[in-house]
Amino acid sequence: MRSIRCGWLWLALLLADPARAVDVPPDLTLAFMVSSGAQRSAWADIVAAFRHDNPDIRVRNLVFGQEDYKQDTALQLQRREVDLAFWFAGQRLQRAVRLGWLLPVDDLLSPALRERFVPAVMRGLRQGGHYWAVPVSYYPWGLLYRRSLFAALGLRVPATWAQFLSILQHLQAVGIAPLGLGAKSGWPAAAWFDYLDLRLNGGRFHRQLLAGRADCRDPRVAAVLAQWQALLRAGMFQPGAADREWDEVLPYLYRYQVGMVLAGSFALAYMPRTVLADIGFIPFPAMNARQPRVEDAPLDVLVRPRTSRHGAAARRFIDFLLTHGELLARYGETAFQLLPLRDGPPPEAPVLRESQQWLAQAAQLSFFFDRDATPALSEAALPAFRRFLLPPYDSGQLWHSLCPRFPSLERVHRLGG
């Protein structure tokens, strides 16, 4: 996705500029990533409010833009004492835990505090009997569409795959590209693999596959690619998807030239305010009634690097963060993200309130392909997904190029399978 297009090694957030150091050692050092000026300001407001309420704690606030995260630098936890750092749930978090880079956050999150979070959010943060991160914000992926277009064509929001295909055919018949996609950078196309696999095969198989604990030659994988290939060969995607950036497809949507776009809620921040009220945001349709609904919802978290020395100050900051939900909600809404608290203030944007409701009904959350996949698989898959969007849409060639990147298959080969 936007914030993690490079590999998991780029924890540049921990490589602070020495010129920013203060003469007096801080009592709490924060390292945080922002994706916009508005988000930077909202985070600065949180830190300023904490400083006001806790004048006895000297805070060093290190803020980094996304580009600073894209450097393939080794993890530098030993070089700087950071007490709380921005990070990502999923395989990236699990790998950091396995390699011993983090401290658990059990002492920062009392049972009462843990109960305040959306249950599906917390399930992804527990490993080896410990919690390893504090949720900050999360955002759903779903289908964006214009309500007025659907109303004019007499279309209803699809709940099933059959209904979804019927809508695509209707849009195609009236000369509107059914689906828009901008996958020049690769990662937007990964959402299609995610959801087709989640809907057909369920969350457990999806996690096992991306983590290398399921064989990529499993027929269930071929079924996913066959569904995707069928959409491509039927002309359901707007031509040129492989050559557009993710945000370049949005004008086609709000100008009625594209029917639906699979995107994260962050895309709403790139919509003109004049059309935002007309934008609907719905979950990906069901494909297998036997599978509980799992939603793609990347989760941003705070982790505690093993070099952290100020546990008491970190605990006070987390307590402050969770008791000032309005500040955290304001931070999230700058990028159209959701507050992961069950008792937090509702989102101001109606479209976010709708997505919050269907996200809360999900049986599980998935954190998106490039956060859930192994680094080697993610690096190979994103450009391969982009190539798959070009004729002849060869699913066999796609999986032939990717299958060797799956650790499970490598183990099979080593064992002589």
Q: Are residues 121 and 29 in the same domain?
A: yes
Q: Tell me the pLDDT band of 14, cut-offs 50, 70 and 90.
A: very low
Range of the domain at 82: 2-137+297-352
Q: Give me the pLDDT at residue 65, please.
A: 80
Q: Give me the pLDDT at residue 406, please.
A: 67
Q: What single DSSP character describes residue 298? A: -
Distance (Å, whole) CA 104 – CA 305: 9
Q: Tell me the pLDDT band of 67, cut-offs 50, 70 and 90.
A: low
* 20 located within any domain: yes
Q: Tally the domains of the chain.
A: 2
Q: How many CB atoms lie within 10 A of CB 153?
A: 14
Q: Give me the pLDDT at residue 417, please.
A: 30
Q: 395-402 and 375-388 are packed helices; what angle lies between their axes, rounded to 10 degrees?
A: 160
Q: Tell me the pLDDT band of 92, cut-offs 50, 70 and 90.
A: confident
Distance (Å, whole) CA 212 – CA 289: 26
Residue 348, burial from CB neighbour count under 10 angstroms (0-12, 13-18, 19+): exposed
Q: Tell me the pLDDT band of 408, cut-offs 50, 70 and 90.
A: low
Structure tokens at 105: 């956050």
Distance (Å, whole) CA 197 – CA 75: 32
- Res 308 pLDDT > 50: yes
Q: Are residues 132 and 98 in the same domain?
A: yes
* 357 located within any domain: no
**97-106 average pLDDT score:** 92
For residue range 351-395, list pLDDT tens digits in order. 999 999 999 889 999 999 999 998 888 889 999 999 999 999 999
Distance (Å, whole) CA 300 – CA 85: 11
Q: Does the N-terminal peptide bond of residue 392 adopt cis geometry, omega within 30 degrees of 0?
A: yes
* 367 located within any domain: no
Q: Tell me the pLDDT band of 132, cut-offs 50, 70 and 90.
A: very high
Q: Give me the pLDDT at residue 102, please.
A: 92
Q: pTM for the whole thing?
A: 0.87
**100-114 average pLDDT score:** 93
Q: How many CB atoms lie within 10 A of CB 37?
A: 10
Q: Are residues 101 and 242 in the same domain?
A: no
Spatial CA neighbour of 345 closest among 330, 359, 360: 330
Spatial CA neighbour of 199 closest among 161, 241, 242: 161
Distance (Å, whole) CA 138 – CA 91: 16
Q: Are residues 323 and 287 in the same domain?
A: no
The strand pair at 141-146 and 177-180 is best described as: unpaired
Q: Are residues 146 and 257 in the same domain?
A: yes
Q: Are residues 156 and 285 in the same domain?
A: yes
Residue 38 · residue 58 · CB < 8 Å: no
Q: Tell me the pLDDT band of 3, cut-offs 50, 70 and 90.
A: very low
Residue type, 334: T
Q: Are residues 302 and 237 in the same domain?
A: no
Which CATH number characterizes residue 148's domain?
3.40.190.10
Q: Give me the pLDDT at residue 6, please.
A: 41
Mean confidence (pLDDT) of the chain: 88
Q: Tell me the pLDDT band of 407, cut-offs 50, 70 and 90.
A: low
Q: Are residues 23 and 123 in the same domain?
A: yes
Using H for helix, E for strand and C for coil, what is the string for 15-54? CCCHHHCCCCCCCEEEEEEECCHHHHHHHHHHHHHHHHHC
**337-356 average pLDDT score:** 90
Q: How far is CA 297 from CA 135, 136, 140, 146, 319, in A?
A: 12, 13, 4, 22, 24
Q: How many CB atoms lie within 10 A of CB 408?
A: 17
Q: Give me the pLDDT at residue 75, please.
A: 46
Q: Are residues 264 and 339 in the same domain?
A: no
Residue 142 · residue 355 · CB < 8 Å: yes
Q: What are φ and ψ of residue 115, in 5° steps?
A: -65, -20
